[in-house]
Every structure is written in C-alpha cells, then in structure tokens.
Structure 1
Amino acid sequence: MATEVSTTIEFNASHFPSIIMREDLLETWNDISLASLEEAEKAPLILFLEGLGAFDDPSFDQDKILLVKASRGIPESIYTPGIFKDGDKIIVKVGVNTFAVTQTGDKFTIGTLIGKMNVTEAKDRDGNPYPKASMTFISQEHDDSFSIPVNLASKELGFTRNQLDIALLKNKPIVNFLLEAPASAMKMQELEIGEYQIKGVSSSKGKYGALHTIHLLDGRKVLSAGNATTQLNSLLFNPNWEEETYTLVVDTADDGSLNCAIRKRLPMLSSIPTNSLRVTKSNGATATVSEPITVKATSVDYDNETASKEEPLDF
C-alpha cells in the first residue's frame, strides 16, 4: 500500500513567481486578488484559506489577498500571510483579512487547522543572535501542512530565544511576544491631489526593509511611497513630529505618475497646479488630463499628540 507524501507549504515570495512578470503593478502599493494568481500558486492558498474558514466569512476580501510593493512596475517585496497580535489576541493576517488564532497550552488552532510553534535562532549583520519563529498548521482533511512566519517583537522587547522557549514549555500565552498587526492604511494613490498635514509616522523594519505609515491629522493613515519614502529612509531626515509642522504633498508628474513628498510647513491651498489631474483608465493605466480640479488641503489646529508607534512587518 503506497503512503501519501505530505508537503509543507510556505507562502513566501518564491511561492508566487508570477508576480515578477506582472504588468499591472502600476503603483507603489498594489493589492493582488486570489483570482489573478496562477493555478499552482492559488491552489495551496485556497486550501489554507478553507482551513481558516475564510470562504464562510462574509467580510473576507478575495481581491486583497496579497500586498506587493513595486518600483517602476517591478516588484520589490511581497507581503504574504503572517502571525501577529491584535491587542490581546493572536491573529493570522492574509492581505487585508485577519483571522483569530486560539492558543491552548503549546497548541494553536484556527478554523479546522491545528498548529505548533517552531523557534530557531538567527544572527543580524553584526553577528548578534535573535529568535525567529514560525507556526506549522495541519489539517485533518488532507496531508499537507502550512508554515506561517511569526512576527516577533524581539527587537522591541529584547527577549531571547531561550525566554520564548521557556514560555512555550510552560504553556504560557505567547501573544505578548508578538508584533502588533499593521494598522489598516490606505495607499498613496488613493489620496486626492492636494496637501495634508501630518500628525506622525510609524515605522518598522523587516526582511523587506523599512515600512512607513504616515498618520494624517484628519485621522487617515497612508502607506508611504515615492519621495516620501526616500525622505523617511534618509539618515539626514530627522523630523520632530511633536514640536514641528509637516505636510504631505501629493501631486502628479507630466507622465501621470504619482509625486509625493514631505515638506516642513503648513498645507497651502494654492500650491498644486490646477491643470493636472491623475486618472486611471479602464485598462488600469494612468494618464494626466488637462482640466480644472479642486485642490484639497487638510489643515486644522495642530496639537502635540503623536501617533502611537506601530510595527508592521511581513504580511
């Protein structure tokens, strides 16, 4: 009698090779739908989502299953499923979707999936050790298993692999060892052309580099892109969000591409040309049309309350 060979599926960037050849990555941040993936990429992901109970959840968004960061149409990073915390709960984040994970002792369950946490150790560029972790989930309905990365807050909290191992051996909750899930943020291209006063910026560093979320004074959160990201990554840029005033300027270039930058001043109503409007055509391409537009500027009395520091990492 033949024995079926089980497979461990890892949803890392190499699992989605079709992304590198896509021609629709027109923005810095691009949502990827389940339907647009190749069959070999889609089938294991569907198995995982079925185990999570995703298709029984009316709020599940199949059009935002992955997030891809791109530059000039070329993907730089793919944010895939990952384990985070949401307050005092453990969750798995899949694109914009989140699903609660239950811990019982050293076992973790979500939907029909049962998992255990695996802890290893790696070294940073300076040779300093730090813990790494993943959760391996299995289903009672098939022999395949799924390995999902765990986003640890070891850099922020300073704990070691040994401390995490001890917590698992003692069946202690591991939620406090996790990074908070990235807050929902809109993409830069979803903002209207205009100027927006900034309340603060939250940043994190993962294997794909720095990820910045700009908190606007009107309460919205925006994923950084373009020149704004270049500024935030620069060692020469040291803004004092509490005591100084900064503005996010969103404009378009002659070719219709997005221009955005951070300026040290209040928003100006007259700073954006009125003959440049960025539009998206039915085929997904962008273009600039010449017609009057209404310039939007967001500016209210500035206070010294800054956004709380969040640490979004790999999706």
Structure 2
Amino acid sequence: MIRSILTILLLFSVTLAGCSRDPSPGGDDSGTTVGMVFDVGGRGDNSFNDAAYSGLLQARDSLGVGVVYVEPSGEGADREAALRNLAADPDIDLVFGVGLLFSRDIAAVAEEFPETRFVCIDYQHSGDDLPANFSGIVFEDRKGSFLAGAMAGLLTESGTLGFIGGMDSAIIRRFQEGFSAGARHVNPDISLITAYIGMTGSAFTNPARGKELALNQYSRGADIIYQAAGASGLGVIEAARETGMLVIGTDRDQYDLAPGHVLSSIVKGIDRAVFTTVVDDLEGRFRGGEVTVLGLDGRYTDYVYNQDNAELVTPEVHRQLENLREDIISGAITVE
C-alpha cells in the first residue's frame, strides 16, 4: 500500500495544495529523495502528468528512492513557490518540473539552489546559458506529429482532418505543424480544421471546451481529429466516442478511454525519461547545463500500434508509417 502523507507547504506566504510524500515501500534505500511538481491538470489527466508520475513511481519502486510531489492549483501560478519549497528541503536531491510552463521559473530557481539538481520536461529553451545543475528534456513532437498526420491522411475517408490544441503556444504549434505536414505529405488535397482551447495554462484543463470544439469539427466533415490538449483532450476523445468518429491521442496510449475510436496515440517516453534521469543522477551522470532531445530514434517519440488498434491501422498503413519513420531518422525526409 502506498503511504501518502498529505501536507500543506507554506513558502513566502503561498499555500501549495496537494503536496504528498511517497516513501519507497522498503524505506528510502538509496538515500535519495526525488521531488516533482506537476503541470496544470495534475495527476489523473491520462496524459502528460500521468506519464511523468508513472516514471516517478517506477523510480521509487525499482531504485528505492523516496518521492515527493506537488499538485498544481488553478492555472499553476504557484509553480515557482512549489519548486523553491522542494529545493529548500535538504532531503530532496533532484526536482522535476513537468511541462513547458515551468521553463522560465525552473532555470532561475536552479541558479539559487546550486546543490540541488533540476529537470524540466518539455523545456522551452530561451537560448540563455543553463546552470550546471539544470537539465532540459524535449521530445521530437513535430516528427511524431508528422507520423500522426501521415496516418490520418492515409486513413481518412472524408479528406478532412481536425486538430485541437490546448494552450496556443510554440510547443503545441509544433504538434499542429507536424500533423499538417505529415497529412499533406501523403495526401496533398487534405483539408485541415484547427482550433485551440485557450491562451493560458487552464487551456489544458477544460474537457468541456475540448468536446465542444471536437463536435464542431466532426460536424464540419472531419473524420479524424488529432488532439494535443492535456486533460482537455479527454473531451475530444468523448466527442469521438459519441459521434462514432476517430481521434488520435497524445503522450500516453489513450485507447482504453474510447475503444474502437482512438485510432492511435503519439506517445512521449516521459516515464522512461524520468526514470533514466533518476538512474543517471544516482550514478553520478546527471547531464546538467544542456538540453537533451529524445525522439524517433529509440522510440522515445512514437505512435501506438498494437493489438488494440491493429484493425484500425491496417498492416499496409503500418508498413508505410515505418518507412516514413526510417526516412525521417535517416534524414531522407526533413521535418522542419
């Protein structure tokens, strides 16, 4: 049984709701404690945050580290305070910030706490030099989205596809751009309808709006929608189920949310990235001062093809997607 002690953290008069400490089942065998601050939407989004949490639990169970995690409140305006609070805890050696919204805050906090290592998942690099105790991790989301677009372009019956993003931002725009490029690579006559939930972090936590936008796109002829919207994407998936249409999920395999209607998911190996980063830190190989790109090579960025969706993604389409994947890796196809 996971023992979770709910505490309320106070820092600079900011109350951080949802901080929990999960010791290793056998105690903190490694002598290391890892902290994690989740993105807006928190655990239970069946997407980005849950993938990161899975990696954290794997590190706890396999490596014997203690773990502490903080759920966001509202739009996550307290993320900087949460990072500072974890960094100030002398028992915490490594702190993860989960999501692009941490990019500005976490590098600055890392400079103030040089004895603690920090990692940002989906880091949005400003071009500034990074402190030696900070590591950014990014995924080849544009290339993964290219494969999503190619899949949809090969399988659409209407010739119209949809894209729904969460927060209108540079990273989510990469999903849209890759999806559009992949679809038109295999089918130049494709029509694409695009929409974004909003302009702030709360755009990742509004499944009702996601469903509304998806129903609109399906009514306008889209038969496959690619969603990159965090917890808001749950509404897109529900719309696919209700209308009998298809959706492509993101970050984790989302097939079980609407069996028969989730064509595939573009997955990021966020859980693997978290786990291997903890391993590297324990073994003295922390990669500070740099941004690590995890992509199609090694399948850190990939599309789901298994027994669940094999009837939706035909063997011929799968073969074409694998050829495209190899061409992207080799450089025969350039995805800008």
Task: Please give the TM-score of this superposition, normalised by the length of structure 1.
Answer: 0.27
Larger radius of gyration: 1
State the TM-score, normalizing by the size of structure 2: 0.25
Greater strand content: 1
